[in-house]
Structures are given as structure tokens and as C-alpha cells.
Structure 1
Amino acid sequence: MKAMILAGLGFATIAVPSVADAQRWTPIAQRQGQLQTRIDQGIRSGALDRREAVRLRSQLRDLSQLEYRYRRSGGGLSASERNDLDRRYAVLSRQVRFEKHDRFDRHHRR
């Protein structure tokens, strides 16, 4: 009986990290939507000017096209392609954050 319980706990320990990894990964379509929403909010609030928004949207469109090429080339996304897209979306997300806050910082430094 104890062996079955220990075996069950061992299996649960192995299964939990993979479930946690799957839950941490945000689907690409959701990340695209979130970034588009953040850019739109930046425009409405005045945190982003037209030039910044055009550049950020262009980068977002480029990522979308890269994803499309990845999916067409292999019938889906490989782990390395998904990791590459994750990294690129993280970089773009940081750029959106920086662009939305750089004007505010500049005004307060003067």
C-alpha cells in the first residue's frame, strides 16, 4: 500500500512541472492581442505618439508574419520556433513599456 502511495506521489511530482510549464506559456494570439491593446491604450492616453505607434505596430506585424512562415514551413511550431517567438514578443513588450513611459520620464527630468 505504501509503495502505491509513494509511486503515485512520484508520478505527481514528475507531472506537476510539465503542467506548470504549459500554464506559464501564453498563446501567441493572446500575446499579439495584449500588445495591440497596450499600443492602442498608449495612443489614447498620449503616452505614445504616432511615430512610436507606427513603429511598434510594424514590429508586431513582422512577428505575426514570422509566426506564419514558421507554421507553414513545418506544419506547426517547433519548440525552438516557439522559444524564438517568445523571446521576440518579450523584447517587443519591453519596447512598448519603454516607449509608453519615456516621454513621462523626460518631462520630469527637466
Structure 2
Amino acid sequence: MKKFSLVLAGLGIAAAAVPAAAIAAPAPHFASYQGGWQNINARQAKLEARINQGIRSGSLTRAEAVRLRAQFRDLSRLEARYRASRPGLTLAERRDLDRRFDALSARIRFEKHDRQGYHGR
């Protein structure tokens, strides 16, 4: 009887741990990342660093940087609104943010490589 109750308690603990592990796991990111899913804060930091690097290297003009930063701020505000909403950040909202981050990343890449900011090359 003692062995049976011990097995039953172990199964109960395992059953409780599986949903918690599923909740803690990051949602898959469907963009073209080699390293898998990245959280929103990491993506924001990476995009901000790319804009700053483009300004320092001269591959972004001042006007391009101002426009990209405005789009970045708008995206940050949208994320804050999503997080403040009643259920918090849902999977659909996360996917929407991922899609928008992908679009902003593509715009940064385009603006950095359009050769408008390059001096004498």
C-alpha cells in the first residue's frame, strides 16, 4: 500500500510539472532565425544596436535613422499596449509583434545597404 501511494504521488507531481514546463517554454518563432526563437526584449536591443551601428558607420543618414527610430518607438508602444491588455501578451499578439519586428529589421537592412549614407565609396 505504501509503495502504491508513493507511485501515485510521483505521478501527481509529474502531471503537475508537465503543464508548467510547457508554459515556461518559449513560443516558437516562425521568422528566419538560425538560432531559434528570441524574446522581444532581445530583439529590441538588437535592432537598436543595428541602428546605432549604422549611424556610427555612416551607412544610415540622419533622416533614415530618425525614421527608423520613430518606427521602433511605435513598435515599443504597441508592445506596451499589448502587455497592458487584460490577458497580457497573447500568442497572436506575440506573432504580430514578431512579424512587425521582422519588417523593421528588413527596413533597417535596406536602409543600411542603399548606399545613400556612404561617403566617397
TM over 0.5: yes
Offset at residue 24 of structure 1 (A) = 1.9
How many percent identity over aligned positions?
A: 59
In structure 1, stretches of 5+ residues that fail to align are 1-14
Offset at residue 75 of structure 1 (A) = 4.2
The structure with the greater share of residues assigned to helix is 1
| Equivalent residue pairs, number | 90
1:8-52: CA deviation from partner (whole Å, max 9, x where unpaired): xxxxxxx9xx78937722111110100000000000000001000
The runs of 4+ residues in structure 1 deviating greater than 4 Å are: none
Larger Rg: 2
TM (normalized to structure 1)?
A: 0.73
For the aligned residue pairs, the C-alpha RMSD in angstroms reads 2.6
Counterpart position of 1:94: 106
In structure 2, stretches of 5+ residues that fail to align are 1-21, 30-34
2-structure distance, mates of 1:52, 1:35: 14
Counterpart position of 1:81: 93
TM (normalized to structure 2)?
A: 0.66
1:52 to 48, 51, 64: 64
Q: 1:48 to 1:21 in 2, by over 3 A?
A: same
